[in-house]
Every structure is written in C-alpha cells, then in structure tokens.
Amino acid sequence: KEKARVSCSLPQPSWEERLANAVTPLWRLPYQEQLQVKYESQRKILQTLASRLEELGIDAQKPGGLCCPLQPVVPSPIINGYRNKSTFSVNRGPDGNPKTVGLYVGTGRGRNIVCVKANHVENIPSKHKQVAQCYEEFICRSPLASCILFHEGGHWRELVVRTTSSGHTMAIITFHPQQLGQEALATQKALLKEFFTCGPGAVCALTSLYFQESTMTRCSHEQSPYQLLHGAPHIFEELLGLKFRISPDAFFQVNTAGAEVLYQAVGELCQATGDTVLLDICCGTGTIGLSLAHQVSKVIGVEVVEKAIEDAEWNAAFNGISNCEFHSGKAEAVLPQLLASWEDARPLVAVVNPSRAGLHYRVVRAIRNCSSIRRLLYISCKPEGEAMRNFLELCCPPDPRKKLSGEPFAPMLAIPFDLFPHTVHCELVLLFTR
C-alpha cells in the first residue's frame, strides 16, 4: 500500500515580516551580530579589490588578503527609527486595495509586487508612518485613482517624508496629471492642503507640504518644480553645531546622528592643516565641507543639484563661514576645468561622496592628473558596485590611451560606518594616498 503523505509545511510569514525581511534583512539579529555581518561583507570587498589590483600588476595584498587595513564597523548612535527621509509607494496591498501607501515586497520583473504598510519596519520613525497613514486616508477618500502604471491612467503616486531632529516634517506628494486641466489640478492641491492643515492630516503638524506634477518615474526640480502648498520652503537640521537648510530634493545623509560620527572621522583622516584646501566633490548641501571649514583655509564644493548648491551657500552664510565656494553642475564638467589650471601651492585634499552610480571617469581622471592632490577620501554606500570601478581607476598604472598620466593612488585604510542599522548596507570610507 502507498504510504500516506504527511504535510508539515511551515506557516508562511506575515506580510509585515516579509516586508521587514526585504527592507531590513538583519532586523532579527542583535545589533553586535549585525555589525559583525557587515564587517565580514566589507572584508570580502577589500579582498576583491586586492585581487583586482593584483590583476593590474599592483602588489596590494596585505594581511588577510586585504588591500589595506580594515577597522571595525563604527556603530550608529541610533539603531531604531533613525531615518530622516522615507519614500513610500502607492500600489495594490495584500488585500487588493490599489491605494495602499507603503513599501514593496516582490519585484517588477517577477510581476509579484505587493505594497505593504511600513508600520513594523524598525528603521522608519513613527512620524513618517503617521504621514504615510494620513496620505493613504486622503487618497482613499479621493475619487481619483492611484497611478500604478502610467499608461493605464491614475494620478496619486509616491510620498516622500523628511524630518529633522528639531521636529520639522516635510511631505512631498508626487502626482501624475494625465489629462487634467489647470482648474482640476488646482482643486486637488486645495483639497490636499485642506486635509493636512484643517482635516485629519493636521495631526501630522507638517512644517512643509509640497506637490510635484510628474510624468516620469523620477523628476528633478528643474524638470518639474516642487510646488509649496503649505508652510515653509525648507526644513532645518543641526549637525556638529551647524545649522543646515534642506530643500525637497537636496541630498542629506539619511542618519543624522551617524553622519556626525562619520564627518568627525573624515575630518581626522583628512589630516588638514590651516593652509589646506578641501575639495568636496558631490557636496550636496555642503555638510562635509562646512563641518570641516574651521580646519582648512578654503573649501571648494561641487554638486549637480542646483537647489542643493543654493542650500549650501545659504548654510555657509547663516553659519558665518566665509572660506567656502560652491560650484553647480555635473562634476565631470566642472572639476576638469577647475583642476586643469590649478596652480595653488597650498596642499589639496579631496573628499568624494558620490551616489551609487560612482564617479564619472572624467572626474577620476581629473583627480589623478592633478598632482597637488596627495590625499583622497572616498565615501561609498555601495563599494561593491560602481565604486569598485573608481577604486581601480584611481590605483591603476598611467595609461596614455585614456589620457591618464597622473601618479596612481594606493588604498591605505578602510573604515566602515553603520549608517543603516538592520540593513546589510554601511558607509565605507577608503583613504587613498600617493
């Protein structure tokens, strides 16, 4: 006789658990174990870099097969609810509600995306969850559909919430106008403002409410201006004793307390003296350069986001810092011109903090070919990605075919900073010298 089959399948995790596993994979581990996991992943990255450098004929093997010494991961001062910026999507939830405001489980490629409320995600502060819940309540009341696929119509799209340690809250709502006229758009903006100022959303006590009409997946202020519906145009944060103004799309480290620890260490690693010039590439609102301005004779910042440069200049003036200049534009366009004619005798130290896409080759080449730069700090949130290409470009032998004539750099020290507790990511600072 055929034996009876006994099913002992494990219970499926809840949607909340599945979201937590996707967004914060280390959330079940005690924090010290999280730091150890991250240390091991950074160690493997430095081993990979050492191997890649060996392939280029560069003897980079240090103890443990690393390209340079690796310090322990510097912990975050805040472990839960540390994010000062969260982006919430609008899509179908587990119950089929197409106006669920939350974070994604699943992938577009797998066509299995479900939008799950972020109430149980540990790195998101309660204020962000409150604003997301209120936005969901608003769009559920609205007769307009959510915009899940552009070509299928619908209007309500993602929500960005930004907060500061002083209690400021900015909400930015993205809306697809489809075929709506200006009068209909004005009605929706008025309803949104009323909801968050006089209606149920008033509980959020928003400092700033922005609205952006966007027909693209991602849209800059230049492509489609952020429209201020209520409150102040900026929120303000304090960091290392300085006050910083933040615009809707300006880059600011997502973990403010962790950023303070990171920037203090960067200041020490720069070994800047009173006559040093600090080159702050991808400077955002100027946080790194301004926090180190008291150590150096001059700070030169370069940033592609025009509004961020406006913030940086305001930040410098407000804090009484007069030795900073900021340049707006793509680093690959601005930096080669800036360094090609560099004749300043003062020591020049570069700090680069690019996005996950890394630095454009022309930026690396300009740094390599400027003999005044002897010390470079590369801050990367994803060193195993495009940053790895930059590391190799900084350290490879000169190549006349690529117009790379400058002396190569060598990695000297790596320090990981845990700016993203509960996730697998951390911020790696790599010190290069030549």
pLDDT of residue 9: 61
| Residue-wise pLDDT tens digits, 414-423 | 999 999 999 9
In order of 213, 249, 326, the CA distances from 218 in angstroms are 11, 11, 25
Annotated active-site positions, please?
381
Structural element, H or E, at residue 378: strand 373-380
Residue 47 annotated as lining a ligand binding site:
no
CB 347 within 8 A of CB 374: yes
List of E strands, 51-188: 85-91, 100-105, 114-116, 156-163, 169-175
How many Cβ atoms from other residues are within 10 Å of residue 5's Cβ? 5
Higher pLDDT, 5 or 63: 63
Closest CA to 83 of 178, 162, 197, 4: 162
Higher pLDDT, 274 or 125: 125
CB 289 within 8 A of CB 266: no
The span from the CA of 72 to the CA of 31, in Å, is 14
For domain 255-433, give its CATH number from 2.40.50.140, 3.60.21.10, 3.40.50.150, 3.40.50.300. Answer: 3.40.50.150
The span from the CA of 174 to the CA of 58, in Å, is 49
For domain 85-238, give its CATH number from 3.40.80.10, 2.40.160.20, 2.40.50.1070, 2.40.50.140. Answer: 2.40.50.1070
| Residue-wise pLDDT tens digits, 182-211 | 999 999 999 999 999 999 999 999 999 999
* Contacting residues for 220 by C-beta, under 8 A, at least 6 apart: 249, 305
Residue 303 annotated as lining a ligand binding site:
yes
| Residue-wise pLDDT tens digits, 95-137 | 999 999 999 998 767 678 999 999 999 999 999 999 999 999 9
85-238 shares its CATH topology with 255-433:
no
Question: Domains of the chain: which residue ranges?
Answer: 85-238, 255-433
Antiparallel, parallel or unpaired: β 410-417 and 373-380: unpaired
Residue 353 annotated as lining a ligand binding site:
yes
Phi, psi of 28, rounded to the nearest 5 degrees: -80, -15
